[in-house]
Amino acid sequence: MLQEIPCVLLAGGLGTRLAEETTVRPKPLVEVGERPILWHLMQNLSSWGMREFIIALGYKGDEIKRFFVDYQRLSGSLTIDFSKKESRTIPTMEKDWLLHLVETGLHSMTGGRIRNVASQIGTRTFLATYGDGLADVDIGKLVAFHRAHGRLATVTAVRPPARFGGLEFDGDQVTRFSEKPQTGEGWINGGFFILEPQVIDYIEGDDTIWERQPLERLAADGQLMAYRHDGFFQPMDTLRDKQLLQKLWDSHQAPWKRW
């Protein structure tokens, strides 16, 4: 059952390539459609039945804590009785999320952040992904793929998003122009890992970058498998990426929206 799998969301990076937004807030709180991208990600994952989220905090982690405290208090109805000088919040039944907001170090790398939430993971299979990207990965099929091969780690492989429009030629004449969401060649790490708790042993400390030594060693040991995802994938690294996600949301064509 997917609700038994905790989700580790890496939400502690500095987001320097989106400095227009991240000087005042952590990147996972940059908004798309008046909601943080982290909220969109959690909504998508919870639509698959997942409910436990371990948020690995770092840069401006207090802002993320404040968002969820306020969200819990303000998302429902509110009754105020001025005669009795009391108020009562009536929470909505929309969410049954269990959140662990864990300080994993201001300067920890991605591997260090995963290692620093090991006590919340325990002995369970878990999902890990980045708190600043969206996709329409079929999480049910991803988990089934992981369980079928029996290795320690599965990485979701995606096509790299195209940064510019594609051109096709006949001589010097442009025969086709397309603002392609993804290129047709190559595969890259798209996050959305399904991992066994033993992968923690591949992480040495706070300075370990998950995408380097741990994944390289897992691959060398024959313990890393790839789930190929041909659908939508879009990280939010730049202002242009944010504008693209906002455009998809405003046009009611957001592929990640399943709720």
In this predicted model, what pLDDT tens digit does every residue of 191-235 receive, in sequence order?
999 999 999 999 999 999 999 999 999 999 999 999 999 999 999
Average pLDDT of the residues in 127-144: 97
- Is the pTM higher than 0.75? yes
31: pLDDT strictly greater than 60:
yes
In a domain? residue 258: no
List the domain range (segments joined by +) for residue 100.
Answer: 2-250
| Residue in this structure with the two tokens 């982690």, named with its chain if needed | 61
Average pLDDT of the residues in 143-152: 97
In a domain? residue 62: yes
In a domain? residue 44: yes
39: pLDDT strictly greater than 90:
yes
Number of domains in the chain: 1
In a domain? residue 7: yes
In a domain? residue 159: yes
74: pLDDT strictly greater than 90:
no
Give the pLDDT score at 250.
Answer: 96
Average pLDDT of the residues in 11-16: 81
**Dihedral sign (CA 133, 135, 139, 142):** negative
**CATH number, domain containing residue 212:** 3.90.550.10
Please report which confidence band the pLDDT of residue 89 belongs to, taking 50, 70 and 90 as the band edges. low
Average pLDDT of the residues in 94-107: 91
Please report which confidence band the pLDDT of residue 19 belongs to, taking 50, 70 and 90 as the band edges. low
In a domain? residue 256: no
In a domain? residue 259: no
In a domain? residue 255: no
